[in-house]
Structure 1
Amino acid sequence: MAKPSAMSGGGEAAAAPAWARAVELFPSSDRILSTILTRQAERYGDRVLFVSGQTRWTYAQTAAMAAASAQTLVDAGIKPGDRVALMCSNRPEFLQIYLGCAWLGAIVVPINTALRGFQLSHIFRNSLPSLLVVEEPFLAAIDTVGADVELPSLAWTIGTDAETSSAKISPVPLPALGDQAAASLVRPGDTVAILYTSGTTGPAKGVCCPQAQLFWWGIYSARALGIREGDVLFTTLPLFHTNALNAFYQAVLNGCTYVLEPKFSASGFWAAARRRNATVGYLLGAMASILLAQPRTEDDGAHRLRVALGGGVPPQIHGPFLERFGVPLVDGYGSTETNFVFAGAIPSDRPGTMGYLAGGIEARIVDADDAELPDGQAGELLLRANEPFAFATGYFGMPQKTVEAWRNLWFHSGDRVVRDSDGHYRFIDRMKDSIRRRGENVSSWEVEQAIQSHPAVAACAIYPLPSELGEDEVAAAILPEPGQSLAPVDIIRHCEGRIAYFAIPRYVRIVKEMPLTENGKIKKGVLRDAGVTADMWDREAAGVKVQR
């Protein structure tokens, strides 16, 4: 059972909270975005739903815009079930395309704007989009995809009114909105988005997120954060990730205003929060540490922020953050495949942990054979939702990976977790060979593939090392080909344009031999346990910048 304070932000009010009313207002068959937007537009009308830069949409305008965006897709030949690739930063057009796809029943494929080369090629090969919508600054990224990648013949650009081109595509400007389309017959289990999450022993997997999963993200997140009707939800996180995307659902389901900033700025965060009258914020991993590292000012407490998500924030940061800024950070745990499945109390009773299991979710801690383990013993976290389509439905075009992850009808998180006797959950480490850096998941396999394409590299191992800001830094152990010499900076330059900038290693260690198992596999644990060795090159200490 969930601890009540973890779910209600400090106790239930006499009246039902907004999220509970939303569950009643939208029964199972109505948990699709077109119905949500239509019904909330009727209820809230001229209340502001969305703010980004100088753009402001009321609830009524957002519903009308979604219908008009859907019609532009229909006019272009897009049908329900077609994929629409979207490479765009935090700007209104991102939501315009997303909402149009959701209204129509098409599937949006948001692409991390930092991806290049191998990673970007894989997404196009896997998703096979019928339309590409790309913001003008990222046209150069499209040119890095492999020569064998078939890009859609239909492409639109955001951010320019003139026709432009690249080496790979010849897009036209995003069409102007006109007539409105009737909402398609979409069901709660239909996929609304394919969100790519880094693989471990293979390429990134496209998580199929159904319409109802995003509904439940909005409900569970609002419950964990204690969101109230009329709150101003303030995010600087990228829309191509689950967190910022589901915050929009939190807003529309709970009668709130959703404020989307272009990106996180340590020096400008609090000023923007004050300017927007924000009441709820979203911070992940190192962001809270970075804010604390800023010089103190007299305005540190001059804001309306009541609470902020603090998933992945180191435990020693919670107290100082609350003392200085007056904002409690909410512990939590979720994944693209699942939902906001664990949440801490407000303020946290055990900072830096996962918190308590959310109502409507089942969890088990199991051994290697999926047998349940007793409290206090670490094992893999398995999860299951009681509500229909509250979790993702699988990995697009990867049935074997889907069966593997959802075997025995439980989602296998790949995370090692302990359940305490009082129902509190603690994250221990990752069972998967993945890395979490500055809020981004990094696939060691993808980085290894990029580095091993260097002709002078015989073998490569990518592994995490602790960061001063919390989470991980990417480390690389490199074994050169016989007779070849390599400088660490050569590895950095080789990675640029081939993988995302955040995945490029900070630490590079050139080795004469790799620690191997009896079967010839590299013992990454040995490399990881050695930490930052004397022969390890540190890109940040050397002052080497990476190109974005």
Structure 2
Amino acid sequence: MSYDIAQTLVAVAAKFPERTGLIVPCEKGCRRWTFGELQANSARFANVLAEGGVKRGDRVMLMVKPSMEFVCLTFALFQMGTVVILIDPGMGYRNLLRCIGSVRPTVFVGIGKAHLFKTIFRKSFKTIRISLLAGPGFWPFAKSLARLAGHAGTEYDMVDSGRDDLAAIIFTTGSTGPPKGVQYTHGIFSAQLQYIRDYYRITSYDRDQPAFPLFALFSTALGACAVIPDMDPSRPAQVDPQKFVKTIQDHDVTYSFGSPAIWNVVSRYCLEKKITLGVKKILMAGAPVSGELVERVKKIMAPGGEVFTPYGATESLPIVSITGTEILADTWPLTRKGRGTCVGRPLPGIEIQIMEPAEDPVKNMRDATMLAPGAIGEIIVKGDVVTRAYDHNDLENSLAKIIDGESFWHRMGDMGYLDEKGR
């Protein structure tokens, strides 16, 4: 059985070849691609990359803006069995260089500005043996993917990827310490996709406006059209609310996943302009969500709309969730009394426990002390979406992972408690 998330695009393209799968803003309005075109472009990119010497197991540094190229290249690389490296450029160039050096990429695919960055700081890219230019323009010593893809075939024989095969390395933001590369297997992506589809009930009839670029891949995999917002995803608080709202309205977006910083700006704008959005689901994650923000966002949604605030981290997402309705009716009054921010109940199949805090590594669950409901301690989690390891970082692995027989627990790095309702 193959766990490769790229097979979902093949299936969606076969079922809905003429249905719009991706909408991207441009100078003259927007560009659209059908699912059939996305799969064809993905196959073209895979063929070009393979002919250029990229092979299974290569570590591919992808520095491309949210776009058709980002979506199709990522699926192409998954089809090939390579390891996609994704780093948030908003972490600052020093952290960025340190992260690149730690993962030792062998292939570099990026836009012109990324190639300039690579040229200036070439020491951090010394392991690169193949460089390719994504998008328009020209760069010396880097062949243009767009030009080569124009003559490439539209079919590609996908490799068979297992559950534990490495698919990507995604870096933490660095908000709680130095950024760390998290190893994502194909099984992790498959489990995440299942939660998004089943728990949040996302279907092929939905339209998503993802403020996190990676979530455009999940939308595409589910057969939902992804509408890329006109914004810098590394600076969510600087979103232009007028542009963000316009694409939601113009393309009948039904759900959106973004940070609280985005919805803080957008909700204030909509209330000021007396705008009601047609979205049925808004998912906010990446930072604590206050009851005031939930209330404000619900005011700009049509009747029947709901807010969700999934909890997790780069190492494990999603693991817990709660609705805005429950927050306002039940938990926010307690939060205002100093009881902490309630992040909800574990998703089906996810186990959460509260452990007595420990500064040193806890090698085995036999060495850990679990606390009763109501007692504040360290949050630990186990489940199919919990990643097994940081890349090339034995020290952090020893601090974050706890062996439990054939499985393991992850230490979230957050403090919390379980209430009498299991939240």
| 1-structure distance, mates of 2:136, 2:259 | 32
Q: Is the 8 A contact 1:105 1:184 kept in 2?
A: yes
| 1-structure distance, mates of 2:124, 2:275 | 53
* Most deviating of 116-125 and 73-82: 116-125
Matching of residue 189 in structure 1 with residue 160 in structure 2: no
The equivalent position to 1:213 in structure 2, one of 177, 184, 188, is 188
With over 3 angstroms needed to count, the CA separation of the structure-2 counterparts of 1:153 and 1:35, relative to structure 1, is closer
- Please give the per-residue CA displacement for 1:494-514, whole angstroms capped at 9, x wherever unaligned: xxxxxxxxxxxxxxxxxxxxx
Matching of residue 309 in structure 1 with residue 277 in structure 2: no
Normalising by structure 1, report the TM-score. 0.64
| 2-structure distance, mates of 1:226, 1:201 | 32
What SS does structure 2 have at the residue aligned with 1:261? Answer: coil
Give the drift of 1:116. 4.6
Give the drift of 1:115. 4.7
Q: Partner residue of 2:143?
A: 172
Q: Is the 8 A contact 1:67 1:183 kept in 2?
A: no
2:106 partner amino acid: S
1:131 partner amino acid: V
Q: Partner residue of 2:316?
A: 338
Q: Partner residue of 2:338?
A: none
Q: Partner residue of 2:402?
A: 407
The equivalent position to 1:40 in structure 2, one of 1, 9, 12, is 12
Q: Is the 8 A contact 1:84 1:130 kept in 2?
A: yes
What SS does structure 2 have at the residue aligned with 1:268? Answer: helix
| 2-structure distance, mates of 1:138, 1:148 | 13
| 1-structure distance, mates of 2:206, 2:66 | 21
Q: Is the 8 A contact 1:209 1:391 kept in 2?
A: no
With over 3 angstroms needed to count, the CA separation of the structure-2 counterparts of 1:422 and 1:295, relative to structure 1, is closer
Give the drift of 1:51. 2.0
Q: Is the 8 A contact 1:233 1:258 kept in 2?
A: yes
Q: Is the 8 A contact 2:105 2:125 kept in 1?
A: no
Q: Is the 8 A contact 1:118 1:145 kept in 2?
A: no
With over 3 angstroms needed to count, the CA separation of the structure-2 counterparts of 1:163 and 1:211, relative to structure 1, is same
| 2-structure distance, mates of 1:226, 1:49 | 18
The equivalent position to 1:396 in structure 2, one of 387, 391, 399, is 391
* Most deviating of 222-231 and 208-217: 222-231
What SS does structure 1 have at the residue aligned with 2:66? Answer: coil
Give the drift of 1:199. 5.1
2:374 partner amino acid: G
Give the drift of 1:133. 1.3
Mark the runs of 5 or more structure 2 residues left unpaired by the alignment.
232-238, 333-340, 359-367
Q: Is the 8 A contact 2:108 2:132 kept in 1?
A: yes
Give the drift of 1:49. 2.1
Q: Partner residue of 2:134?
A: 158
1:156 partner amino acid: L
| 2-structure distance, mates of 1:297, 1:202 | 37
What SS does structure 2 have at the residue aligned with 1:69? Answer: helix
Give the drift of 1:80. 0.8
Matching of residue 248 in structure 1 with residue 247 in structure 2: no
Q: Partner residue of 2:365?
A: none
Give the drift of 1:198. 4.2
| 2-structure distance, mates of 1:414, 1:262 | 33
- Please give the per-residue CA displacement for 1:203-234, whole angstroms capped at 9, x wherever unaligned: 42111111121222222133443324401111
Matching of residue 260 in structure 1 with residue 238 in structure 2: no
Matching of residue 379 in structure 1 with residue 377 in structure 2: yes
Give the drift of 1:356. 1.1
Give the drift of 1:58. 2.5
Give the drift of 1:189. 1.7
Q: Is the 8 A contact 1:279 1:304 kept in 2?
A: yes
Give the drift of 1:278. 0.1
Q: Percent identity?
A: 19
Give the drift of 1:77. 0.8
- Please give the per-residue CA displacement for 1:76-95, whole angstroms capped at 9, x wherever unaligned: 11111111101122111111
Q: Is the 8 A contact 1:381 1:417 kept in 2?
A: yes
With over 3 angstroms needed to count, the CA separation of the structure-2 counterparts of 1:148 and 1:269, relative to structure 1, is closer
| 2-structure distance, mates of 1:96, 1:251 | 10
Q: Is the 8 A contact 2:278 2:301 kept in 1?
A: no
Bigger Rg over Cα: 1
Q: Partner residue of 2:245?
A: 270
| 2-structure distance, mates of 1:115, 1:141 | 15
What SS does structure 2 have at the residue aligned with 1:182? Answer: coil
The equivalent position to 1:71 in structure 2, one of 24, 38, 47, is 47
What SS does structure 2 have at the residue aligned with 1:392? Answer: coil
Q: Partner residue of 2:361?
A: none
Q: Is the 8 A contact 2:181 2:390 kept in 1?
A: yes
Q: Partner residue of 2:103?
A: 127
| 1-structure distance, mates of 2:124, 2:31 | 39
* Most deviating of 307-316 and 414-423: 307-316
What SS does structure 1 have at the residue aligned with 2:76? Answer: helix
With over 3 angstroms needed to count, the CA separation of the structure-2 counterparts of 1:82 and 1:148, relative to structure 1, is closer
| 2-structure distance, mates of 1:66, 1:94 | 10
1:401 partner amino acid: E
What SS does structure 2 have at the residue aligned with 1:377? Answer: coil
The equivalent position to 1:101 in structure 2, one of 67, 77, 94, is 77
Q: Is the 8 A contact 2:100 2:124 kept in 1?
A: no
Within 5 A, what are the aligned runs for 1:45-56?
Answer: 45-53=17-25, 54-56=30-32
Give the drift of 1:295. 6.7
